[in-house]
Amino acid sequence: ARHVSFLLGALAGIGEGTYWPGINLSEYIATHATTRNLYYGKLFAVSNVASVVGLPLSGVTVAVAGHLATPRAGYYVLFGILVGMLLLTHRLGAGIDQWSGLRFGVRDFVEHARSREWRLVIAQNVLRGRWAYALPAYSAVLLYLIVRGELSLGLLSAVTTVLVGAASFVAGRTLQRRPTTFLLGAAVVPVGMLGFAYQQNWLGIACYVVLIMSFDPFAQNATYKAMY
């Protein structure tokens, strides 16, 4: 795959770009301003729990299929299952709240009159995207160098995912009652980033898991609601 990485990235980008705008619009229609904090709290909680369940199941699939056939066969089976799940996801997405009356053309990129709030949302997404995609890429390497082992890294990832799911659920309920608590995420996450950057040990891991990942849902959930 590394020989066609640019092509794979371009296809993935096109797929994400055509899938998520419709899903985000459907979320906007299906939810209400007074319930979106709870919605995102539950959504990210369930997503993280699903991630924890999916990791060991994937490992078992690779191991069993590889034992019955060739080692590579396990990955073929796993990716085949993932493709099937992706197609099912798109099928389920087609059944949520319908929307119509929207017309779009390529000229809208240039001619659309953007409000101040629109530009702020775009700028926020540009910055958030740099952070949200760079952090997992670099943190995975740093965490592996600290724990020194695939099993330890897998266990750490599972624990982190569970904590983030619980934190997201708590953040949703807390933001529903006290909207200003999004400041917890805005204030605590940068402190955790500094701690993780300067402490390449278990203290740094604690900063990553507790201060960064567990407090980020306060800012993230509030941000999604504010954008809508």
pLDDT at 215 (0 to 100): 92
Distance (Å, whole) CA 132 – CA 7: 22
Q: Per-residue pLDDT for the chain (228 aa), expressed as one digit of tens each?
A: 889 999 999 999 998 888 888 888 888 888 888 888 888 888 888 888 888 787 778 878 887 887 788 878 888 888 899 899 888 988 887 777 666 776 777 787 787 888 888 888 889 888 888 888 888 888 888 888 888 876 677 788 888 888 888 888 898 889 888 888 889 888 999 999 999 989 889 999 999 999 999 999 998 888 888 888
pTM: 0.73
Other Cβ atoms closer than 10 A to 175 = 25
Q: What are phi and psi of 25, to 5 degrees?
A: -65, -40
